Structure 1
Amino acid sequence: MKYPKISYQLIRLAAVCLLLQATTLLSAQEAEQKTHQAPLSKMELQTGDSIVFLGDSITHQCLYTQYVEDFFYTRYPKMRLKFHNAGVGGAKAWDALARFDRDVAAYHPKYVTVLLGMNDGRYQPFNDEIFKTYYDDMKELISKIEGIGATPILMTPTMFDARAARMGKRPRDPASVELYNSVLAYYGTWLREVAAESGFGFVDMYGPLNNITIAERQKNPQFTIIRDAVHPDAPGQVVMAFALLSDMNVQRQVSRITVSKKANGEATSTARGGKLSDLKYSDDGVSFTWLADSLPWVVPAEAKLGAELTKLGHRMSQESLSIHDLPPGRYELSIDGEVVGQYSNTTLARHVELQGNPKTPQYQQAMQVALLNKERNDGPVKDKRNSWRAFQSYARMKRELDAQGDQKDPKKVAAVAQLEKRLADQDRVIQESEAAAKALEDKIYEINQPEARKYVLKKVTAAKKK
């Protein structure tokens, strides 16, 4: 059969159109695939990098940030990072925008952790208009973080402890008490979606606090680590620090030492996290010298419960020691001449964990670091954060005045002028606080360097009965 010439042209045109459509569709699919990014799985850090902790009063407490700093001071003693707490009590996302240039961008961060939302929800049942304000301000804040070349690490709002609120004396709206923790869950779920789609870091602060609380209330119905319902106490802040470091996949183990004998009786060892030397087996024990790369992560006494609740030592700071091929009996372990414990040969063969033993010189050295950093945070770091309260009040009041146009409230005009006078001194306070904080941090880097330690394991001779 012969087809007219026009038919061949139409067939060719249709084929070309179909090919173009397929190509366009394929290109669109490839473009869509390219937009999908993997969320940040870990922080890549080196000496000189800066981390900014941006937030509200929960960050202003200088606790979870302090414990995260403690981790880096002890786990990476050769790497000096720059930490800046940018929390202000009562802050919402808009407040963070108002102080962004001086309080965030000025520190040239590589990563900015963002903990906002507790105040943004306004302590009431879910309100779509309130959430829209938070949504818009957070999107702008995230864009500003990206705009300075930093990577956002978005963190869910923490837990609102409704039971603690009911047990407290402060009068609260029953509906808000019942529903506000759910509001925070909604905000956090949205943040997780933003982080996942944009390739940002994400930390679940909400889940660990709620999960630990409900587990502990099975044993004690009045248990809380958030006594005022909003601000986690020191143990709760350890849970937060643990969540941040865990979700960012930091190096979890301090060291692992295994000592044994070869078939010919020669002593041998395998070790991670340091260098082992001078290994000797004797008739009644073992001795060696150990120079670790890092120290265990420990927290001050008031935060100890948080370390226990998270199993912080075992899960994030393990110092494991295994000694095989010992004759049956009990053995006394000393480090640098100080007895730190007694163990059976079978326990030593399985392994013992030393990171939580307060008798070891490594633990004591790490505690010195933690206490010095506590002094740093309780003093100059908090002084600097307190200086930002006046700015926050000023920025909010000025926004209100600007919205009034020509008909400005004289009282607010006077109040803004008064706040401006107070702020004239802020730069001096910031500079003095930062100098004092750095002086303490210099001391931290003098005492956080691991030292060679002499381990001696000797068999305990049973006392003879009289």
Structure 2
Amino acid sequence: MRKMKAAASLKYLLLLFLFLPGKWAIAQQTAQPVSESPNAPFTLKNGDRVVFLGNSLFENDYQYGYLELALTTHFPDRDVTFRNLGWAGDNVYGVARSTITNPPTGYELLMEHLTKTQPTVVFLAFGGIEAQDGEAGLPVFREGLLKLLDKIDQLGAKAILLSPIPVLSTDTIAHKAKNNALLEIYSSAIAKIASERGKRFIDLYKPVQELSKTVAITENGIHLNETGYYYLANILEKSLGLAPRTETVSINISKTGAEASTPAKMMNAGKNAATLTFTMDEKYLPLPQPAGLAEKTTNARVLKVTGLKKGFYKLTTENQEVVTASAKEWENGVLIQQGPSFNQVNEIRHMILKKNDLFFFQYRPPNTTYILGFRSYEQGRHVKGLEEQSFIIKWLESQVALNRAPRSSVYQLTLLK
């Protein structure tokens, strides 16, 4: 059970909402579809509002925050707002939302939730639930997805369609094969709709299936675990054509001194290699891998130092030991998987999770029927408390904005004696 953590005053924002509804409705009706090319380089700009809309694939990332963290740190100079509207068991008609209150219907709630976020970019993850209806359910699914795309166009937002992920474990091999055959059919249908509407499509099915052969990425064969979301963020970045987060930094020691490749800069370039001092300016913060992941991924900076005398060398920064390795290991390249940048990005992730917790309870609180639904005459007074959380949400977003850009750090590589 998620818990509310704080509240603040929001009287002036409530007054603002009182004066805006009519004008906002007009703006919605006159919004034009956004012109987009599915093959154009993906980017986010200042003022963008990114929405993750779909089933449990998005909702479960509330626990980990990897998808938002990946996009936030890839565009550290852009002010972008993120809202996760994932709802476990949901389909393109909002069927899971209908269990809360009726009226409004689940579909009306889906439209209401989407509209309130004022999106400019919408990631859509549907098809996993609908595939259970078999091939006979394809026409209904197609109709619902097209209507949803119409709504996103009306709101003036770009839509990015994601395929469902495969089922990785079920009761029997035959049952698993049957489910995955249907999921592939629905994935193909989504890809076709994306092509027809000129939308970007991201295939998650094949990369996740391939990844599952070597790494445990689900908690029950259906829902991704923390490791799964870490890799899902990597898949998303690659599919969007985003630049790699990391690059190899090389330092070469010769008779004339030490030279470093960008983004490192030598602070002492003398012939004495017993202690090297240099800075590293990163373009992006790293994406920290889960603590329990034994495999060392390439999502980390590699530091190569050639020309060192035999021995072991310790890398430190800000009085913190980063890694110790032999001269031969430094020559081959050592992964840098801790240090100031990792501390920084973990703090950002922590703030993202806090913000998302508050938003989760703001738009779908416990006892929703009694607070926001048809029985709001009983506990509708609590709406004010929910809305007041916007202050804290915005404060947390401001803290993320202040800390999302990488900072230059001074490193020392010292020979151990």
Same fold by TM (over 0.5)? Answer: yes
- The question of 1:373 aligning with 2:360 is answered no
Residues 66/138 of structure 1: CA separation in 2 closer, same or farther (3 Å cut): same
5 Å-filtered alignment, 1:44-59, equals: 44-59=43-58
Match of 2:282 in 1: 292
Single out whichever of 362-371 and 148-157 deviates more from structure 2.
362-371
What letter corresponds to residue 311 of structure 2 in structure 1?
G
Structure number with greater CO (CA < 8 Å, separation at least 6) is 2
Counting matched residue pairs gives 368
- Aligned counterparts of 1:241 and 1:428: Cα–Cα separation in 2: 35
Shift of 1:68: 1.7
Instruction: Assess, with a 3 A threshold, how the Cα gap between structure 1 residues 80 and 224 changes in structure 2: closer, same or farther.
Output: closer
- Per-residue CA shift, 1:90-133, capped at 9, x if unaligned? 32101285345532234333321001122223x35x241x2211
Structure 1 residues 448, 348: closer, same or farther in 2, change over 3 A?
Answer: same
- Residue identity matched to 1:361: P
1:343 aligned counterpart, secondary structure: strand
DSSP 3-state at the match of 1:252: coil
Q: Secondary structure at the match of 2:359?
A: helix
The residue that corresponds to 2:265 in the other structure is 276
- In the alignment, residue 347 of structure 1 is paired with which amino acid? E
- In the superposition, the TM-score normalised over structure 1's length comes to 0.69
Question: Larger Rg: 1 or 2?
Answer: 1
Give, in angstroms, the shift of residue 425 of structure 1. Answer: 6.4
- How far is the alpha carbon of 1:202 from its aligned partner? 1.4
C-alpha deviations, 1:247-285, integer Å up to 9, x for none? 1122212354222256x704332214xx63524332413
Q: 1:253 aligns with which of 241, 245, 248?
A: 245
Superposed CA deviations along residues 126-175 of structure 1, whole A, max 9, x for unmatched, are 241x22111100011112212222221101112233x3x328xxxxxx98
What corresponds to 2:126 in structure 1? 116
> Residue 157 of structure 1 corresponds to which residue in structure 2?
164
Counterpart secondary structure, 1:39 = coil
Q: Secondary structure at the match of 2:411?
A: strand
Distance 1:299 1:105 in 2: 34
1:85 CA displacement:
0.9
How many Å separate the matches in 2 of 1:279 and 1:46? 39
Deviation at 1:427, TM superposition (A): 5.9
Q: 1:221-232 residue pairs with structure 2 within 5 A?
A: 225-227=218-220, 229-232=221-224
Aligned residue in 2 for 1:338: 320
SS of the aligned residue for 1:297 comes to coil
Query: For residues 93 and 364 of structure 1, what CA distance do their matches in structure 2 show?
Result: 39
Q: Which has the higher helix share?
A: 1
**Percentage of matched positions with identical amino acids:** 19
**DSSP 3-state at the match of 2:82:** strand
Match of 1:431 among 380, 383, 387: 387
The yes-or-no answer on 1:349 pairing with 2:327 is: no
Secondary structure of the corresponding residue to residue 362 of structure 1: helix
- The answer to whether the 8 A contact 1:64-1:237 is kept is no
Partner of 2:93, secondary structure, is helix
Runs of 5+ consecutive residues of structure 1 not aligned to the other structure: 1-36, 168-173, 217-222, 395-415, 462-466
Tell me if the contact between 2:217 and 2:226 (Cα under 8 Å) persists in the aligned partners. no
Other-structure match for 2:181: 182
Which residue pairs with 2:408 in the alignment? 452
Compared CA separation, residues 371 and 300, structure 1 to 2 (3 A):
farther
Counterpart position of 2:8: none
Superposed displacement of residue 66, structure 1: 1.6
Q: Quote the offset at 1:232 in angstroms.
A: 2.2
Where 2:269 maps in the other structure, the secondary structure is: strand
Asked if the contact 2:61/2:229 (under 8 Å) is kept, the reply is no
The amino acid that maps onto 2:57 is: I
Distance 1:327 1:176, change over 3 A: closer
Give the letter for the 1:380 counterpart: L
C-alpha contact 1:298 1:370 (8 A) present in aligned 2: no
Amino acid at match of 1:50: R
Q: Structure 1 counterpart of 2:360, which letter?
A: K
TM, length-normalised to structure 2: 0.77
SS in 1 for 2:246: strand
Q: Is the 8 A contact 1:62 1:382 kept in 2?
A: no
3-state SS of the aligned residue for 2:267? strand
Match of 2:117 in 1: 107
Q: How does 1:305-316 map to 2 (within 5 A)?
A: 305=293, 313-314=297-298
Give the letter for the 1:287 counterpart. T
Helix, strand or coil at the partner of 1:44 = coil
Distance 1:421 1:62 in 2: 33
> SS of the counterpart of 1:103?
helix
| 424-433 or 434-443, larger mean C-alpha shift | 424-433
Contact 1:73/1:369 (<8 A) preserved? no
Aligned to 1:364: 343
CA shift for structure 1 position 186: 0.8
